[in-house]
Amino acid sequence: MSELTIEELNQTDDGTFVEILGDVYESSPWVAEQAQSERPFASVEDLHGAMESAVRNASRDEKTALLREHPDLGEQTEMTEASEEEQASAGLDQLSPNQYEAFQRLNEEYREKFGFPFIMAVRDESPNAIREAMEERVGHSKPEEFHTALNEVHEIARLRLDDMLRA
């Protein structure tokens, strides 16, 4: 999709607004639905703040569902276009068989412990840096990692909005 300005986005009808922003928070259009009532937005930062606030004000179950929408890193499965691009930028679409096995093992261990996939804003990170972060974060407590994963989701959303909207 071509880039829009924040002014152009502000002028869309509610359905178009949600259609455009529905995957900013991975397959969770409810975030855009909640944020649209805050229009007009003066900046991309204001829009991101409204979307972040919608997540912050959501129930624990809604937040958990949002986290579960994210794909496993390095997984060769169907995912949103944005996730495919982000993972490719980190070389996760070109893992060696050994790297792929390590990611699968870590993804399984992480998901088993926390109940959602490992989430990290991976754009332009290396597979080794991502693997190291996975190894570190699997040692976190459940509350600490829930908070960390949500912060990563917000960073991913900010990067996606920056890509979609021009100043």
Reported as a single tens digit per residue, the pLDDT across 122-137 is: 998 999 999 999 999 9
Which of 141, 120, 142 is CA-nearest to residue 131?
Answer: 120
Question: What integer pLDDT is reported at residue 84 of this predicted model?
Answer: 86
Q: For 42-69, how does the pLDDT look when each residue is reduced to its tens digit (9 = 90+)?
A: 999 999 999 999 999 999 999 999 999 9
* Residue 140 appears among annotated catalytic residues: no
Supply the CATH number for residue 128's domain.
Answer: 1.10.3330.10
d(CA 95, CA 99): 6
pTM over 0.85: yes
> Which residue is catalytic, options 48, 70, 140, 154?
70
Q: Which amino acid is at 62?
A: E
- Tell me which residue range forms the domain holding 124: 4-166
Q: In the predicted model, what is the mean pLDDT of residues 19-40?
A: 97
Which of 157, 148, 63 is CA-nearest to residue 110?
Answer: 148
Number of separate domains in the chain? 1
**Count of all residues that appear for the chain in the document:** 167
> Is the model's pLDDT at 1 over the cut of 60?
no
Percent of the chain with pLDDT over 90: 80
